[in-house]
Chains A and B, each alone.
Chain A
Amino acid sequence: MISDSMNQTLTEAALRAQNVFVYYGSTLAVRDVTLDIPKNKITAFIGPSGCGKSTILRCFNRTNDLISGARVEGKITFHGRDLYAKGVDPVEVRRRIGMVFQKPNPFPKSIYENIAFGARINGYQGNMDELVEQSLRSAAIWDEVKDKLKESGLSLSGGQQQRLCIARAIAIEPEIILMDEPCSALDPISTLKVEELMQQLKERYTIVIVTHNMQQASRVSDKTAFFNAEATDKGGKVGYLVEYDDTSTIFSNPKQEYTRDYVSGRFG
């Protein structure tokens, strides 16, 4: 753990979660999560279904606010600023910390409008055509859609839709992009495209990705957090962070037995 904290002083933390507890109604879903998301790195969240990966991810851009009954305790800071402090506007938080969802969810509007919407509502003043082209290029989908920008975003294949959603997220130039299983609905080729894309985006953005794909986590990420769920005495399950370290360490030499079993597929 000493080497851990030394690492973290070297790279600046974009997001820092300290003793975060999340409740849905009166049930505790995730307990006591403390971790730093390093800037301009890719951090992967892995762990069995229901252990609270999405829940923690949603805390980072306050999309939990939209779920009635969800409650976050503890402290999450973004460049040192408490995200949940009074006076922090969740809309501004989400504008700076973007999100890509598990299921591609383009707006049922034109490809162009899918990109332009975020820019427009956030008061973008520059040339919209340029922004649209540039965002689609950054998401490695420009060549596939440049001749049909007026067509519906839904007319694209699943993999293209997901890259459109990534383009849409980066069009508003957030600092952090949260991705919740962005490749789970994609074929291997689209998955590789998205992974390559993440490597490029890493230069400008901080990325947090939830994935069930161990190879993906080990391929793309710099740091990996392994979550697990344990049964509570009330019969429910509560998620917690088991281990968080450099991806190479997690996959080759984890400190916890649980982690070793999970990443080697011997879990259960």
Chain B
Amino acid sequence: MTTSNPQSFERESSWNIDQATFLKALRQRYTFDKVFATLALLAVVFSLFVLAVLLIDVFIDGIGRVNWSFLTSFPSRRPAEAGLVSALVGTVWVMVLVALITFPVGVGAGVFLEEFISDNWFARAIEINISNLAAVPSIIYGLLGLQVFVRVMFPITQGRSILSGALTLSLLVLPIVIIATRESLRAVPGSIRQAGFALGATRWQVVREHVLPLAMPGVLTGVILALSRAIGETAPLITIGALTYIPFLPELSLKGLQSPFTVLPIQIFNWVSRPQADFYSLAAGGIIVLMVVLLLMNATAIYLRNRFQK
């Protein structure tokens, strides 16, 4: 609190902090910065390390099994002949259907709730319920799918079929897509909407031409999350009665969609639970294939997202 030295930064102030105290506190603040940065780095290293160990372990066990015949053979009791073509095709089928169902329905619901309905108690009630739905255990969705899709909608789905599985998984991940859509619509500045309305655009024109394109990267991130969740789900599919042994491929038709199916996680689960060691390496190979499918799927979505961001 002295002004005797005109060169220093110090000046008369009501704060009553002298320079030395300030500098000491400042050093302490920098220390906190460093501590926090280190902790954050540790968190990153730790999670990456665990993941890397897991991946390397799986890779060492399974890479020997991943070859053309593994990808093109049906499951078998003899490990040497077993493959996962039916599970792979089942997963691809189910995921394509899930994407086709959740994208329009999820985005449509999100757009309606965010842009068209006014913000009243009803909208808020729906919002809370959707957030809760996202947290419901997946097995519950399995039970719901079993009743609704397998039993009630039997004439359409023909029971324990690809269609029933895809519909069940779609229900499971819809909240994720809806929430992501709403969040990214909310992030679009209101001034863009005002600009559109002031030019005599209708709500749909504003949403279609300006708001949704801006929200699309966020929407696609939501779709990526949703599909990544769906591809690994086993419990709801087992609940609705996906089989583990499928010695045929569904045809490319509505009939094909109504046929029984299995998916990679179920196949992997099945192999892991066998006593013979040979099946372990099959399971590891299956995990590698599942990862590759997941990465391809996400790469597609990221590619689309980047195109929208331009």
Binding site for B on A (CB under 8 A): 61, 63, 66, 68, 91-92, 94-96, 98-99, 101, 103, 105-109, 117-118, 121-122, 165, 168-169, 172
Contacts and interface: CB of A to CB of B under 8 A. Distances in A.
Contact of A105 (B118, B192, B205): B192
B191 A105 contact: yes
8 contacts: A66-B197, A94-B200, A99-B194, A99-B198, A105-B189, A107-B192, A107-B196, A169-B198
A244 B210 CA distance: 39
Nearest to B208: A121
Contact of B197 (A94, A96, A107): A94
B166 interface: no
B56 to A, nearest CB: 44
A109 B211 CA distance: 12
B127 to A, nearest CB: 15
A109 B205 CA distance: 15
A68 B201 contact: no
B199 A105 contact: no
B195 A165 contact: yes
Interface in B200-222: 200-202, 205, 209-210, 214
Given A68-B119, A105-B192, A122 B210 contact: no
Contact of A169 (B199, B201, B205, B209): B199
B197 A172 contact: no
B200 A118 contact: yes
Contacts of A108: 192, 214
Which of A96, A107, A109, A168 gathers the greatest number of chain B CB atoms within 10 Å? A107
Given A68-B118, A107-B210, A121-B205, A172 B199 contact: yes
B200 A95 contact: yes
Nearest to A106: B195
A121 B197 contact: no
Q: Which 8 A-B pairs have the closest CB atoms?
A: A95-B200, A118-B199, A105-B191, A99-B198, A105-B195, A94-B200, A121-B205, A121-B201
B200 A121 contact: yes
User: What's the interface size class on B, roughly?
Assistant: 10 to 19
Contacts of B209: 117, 121
B186 to A, nearest CB: 15
Nearest to B118: A68
A66 to B, nearest CB: 6
Nearest to A104: B191
A68 to B, nearest CB: 5
B198 A94 contact: yes
Given A68-B118, A68-B119, A121-B205, A172 B200 contact: yes
Given A101-B198, A117-B209, 13 more contacts: A63-B197, A68-B119, A91-B200, A91-B202, A92-B200, A94-B197, A95-B200, A98-B199, A117-B196, A117-B199, A121-B200, A121-B201, A169-B198
A122 B201 CA distance: 8
Contacts of B199: 94-95, 98, 117-118, 121-122, 168-169, 172
A98 B214 contact: no
Contacts of A109: 210
Contacts of A172: 199-200
A54 B193 CA distance: 17
Contacts of A122: 199-200
Contact of A101 (B119, B191, B214): B191
B115 to A, nearest CB: 11
Given A108-B214, A117-B209, A121-B205, A103 B198 contact: no
A73 B209 CA distance: 33
A126 B197 CA distance: 22
Contacts of B197: 63, 66, 94
Nearest to A107: B210
